[in-house]
Amino acid sequence: MGKTGKGTLKAALQSQQSRLKAKEKVAQAAQVAELRSRQKGGQPPGVKNGRPMGDVKGKKKDNLGLTRPPVIPFKLSDKILLIGEGNFSFARALIENAPSELRALPPSSITATAYDSEKECYEKYPESEEIVAFLRSKAVTVIFSVDGTHLEKHPALKGRKWDRIVWNFPHAGKGIADQDRNILANQLMILGFLKSAANMLQLGPAPITPVSKKKLKAKMDDDDDDDDAGIILHDGFPAATDLNDTEEELQFLSQPNDIRTRGTLLITLRNVVPYTQWDVPRLAKNPPPPTSGGRKALPNPQYVLQRSFKFHRDIWKGYEHRMTKGERAHGKGTTGEGGEDRTWEFYLKDKESEES
């Protein structure tokens, strides 16, 4: 039964990969066709209807991405669990020279974990020993030998709840040369994390969802067309299900700090190939059936995408992303050329919604 289930999951993920690649090819072909069309019309690249692409109604649109404050996805009251910390520099950045919004964050509210044993961690990331000593001196809980796909199996984590569970730049680290198999291995890892973390998220009302201006306008224009438009609503507002919504278009609604809302998962990746081919949002929102356990197997949990936003490394002072291979990579490895770092934040879907 286990082998059959695993084969079914692989087939589903591989089919998903094929669909994603096909969509990317169509998008690339459309871009090429548009470029050729403009060149034939005597318009240089980057110009449409005689105006620069960034020019709206004759007025150049300000690049708000440079002035809008970076998103800080934590509150002072949050209990935070960090997965796959590598050299623990992100945990340190939360409490040392942290963004002003987090200067009063209690270090004791942070639990930082690593996949490696303590000895292996110090061997792979020599700087981590000093960082861990600092964290422990500040009352941060540091735990080693934690598998992000089986969190419930670690006695120090079992039965606990968190407001934010964070995995920055997850990677299976198996060194598989074949790209399709590499993507599959990482998708299986992400699915394992989504399933394992589900029972460790704080219970409560769903967070207020970021609202796209254009979707909010559409909602106000015609309340009856919500289902037809494919917009998932929460408390009368459209959810940010469209990843094409830019940060400039999103209005983040405030929620009273004294209300403890449902916990969220935050996954950060490079927003470029091959990481985009992992299709993390789809895995979270519409996961394939479980791999084993037959009819009694619990279904993979479904999540709602609350928001996605650019991850600004520079606001986390001292944070240094370390590849899974550690120092053995000799600094030559890359995490994707070009693009940006991006965080996707999810919360668990209501069971009533899953069943309907």
Rounded Cα gap, residues 270 and 343, in angstroms: 9
DSSP string, 95-152: HSS--GGGTT--GGGEEEE-SS-HHHHHHH-TTHHHHHHHHHHTT-EEE-S--TT-GG
Rounded Cα gap, residues 188 and 283, in angstroms: 10
| Tokens 């449409």, residue located | 48
Domains and CATH numbers, the chain: 76-205+255-355 (3.40.50.150), 208-250 (no CATH)
Query: 274 or 40: whose pLDDT is higher?
Result: 274
Strand ranges, E, within the chain: 47-48, 51-52, 55-56, 59-60, 80-83, 110-113, 141-143, 164-168, 211-212, 233-234, 237-238, 250-251, 264-270, 303-310, 341-348
Q: Label residue 122 by pLDDT band (50, 70, 90).
A: very high
Rounded Cα gap, residues 177 and 97, in angstroms: 39
3-state SS assignment for residue 334? coil
Give me Rg for the CA atoms of the chain: 22
Residues 48-91: pLDDT tens digits? 555 555 444 444 444 444 567 899 999 999 999 999 999 999 99
Q: For 168-196, what is the mean pLDDT?
A: 90
Residues 5-19: pLDDT tens digits? 556 666 666 666 666
- Tell me what pLDDT residue 29 has: 66
- Tell me what pLDDT residue 334 has: 47
**Residue 151 in tokens:** 């969190």
Rounded Cα gap, residues 152 and 232, in angstroms: 31
Q: Label residue 174 by pLDDT band (50, 70, 90).
A: confident
Is the dihedral angle over the CA atoms 89, 95, 98, 99 positive or is it negative?
positive
- Tell me what pLDDT residue 252 has: 45
Residues 242-254: pLDDT tens digits? 444 444 444 444 4
Contacts for 297 with CB less than 8 Å, ≥ 6 apart: 5, 289, 290, 291
